[in-house]
Amino acid sequence: MAHSSSNSNYKVVPEATEALNKFKYEVASEVGVTLKDGYNGDISARDAGRIGGNMVKKLIQQAESQMTNK
């Protein structure tokens, strides 16, 4: 499904935005990165990658767990 908007932050499920934001802060804390409310564009690419990579890893683990529990 293609989305014509140039907004790279397009959410497939907008209702999940708050939960994903909370999840981002939890993962950041786990990897030792402090995020502040609002703009965090000044964190290093390495730290941003650690947060995003760990978010993806955890989401995949959750999906796999749900698949095996069916």
pLDDT cut 90: percent of the chain above it:
69
25-53 pLDDT, tens digit per residue, is 999 999 999 999 989 999 999 999 999 99
The verdict on residue 7 lying in a domain is no
pTM here is 0.75
The verdict on residue 48 lying in a domain is yes
The verdict on residue 1 lying in a domain is no
The verdict on residue 57 lying in a domain is yes
Tokens of 32: 């030792």
The verdict on residue 20 lying in a domain is yes
> Per the structure, how many domains does the chain have?
1
Domain coverage including residue 51: 14-30+43-68
Q: Which is nearest to 30 in space by CA: 5, 53, 54?
A: 54
Please report, for residues 22, 27, 45, 58, 67, the alpha-carbon distance to residue 51 in angstroms, rounded to integers and kept in the order given. Answer: 12, 6, 10, 11, 24
6-32 pLDDT, tens digit per residue, is 566 677 888 888 899 999 999 999 999
The verdict on residue 54 lying in a domain is yes
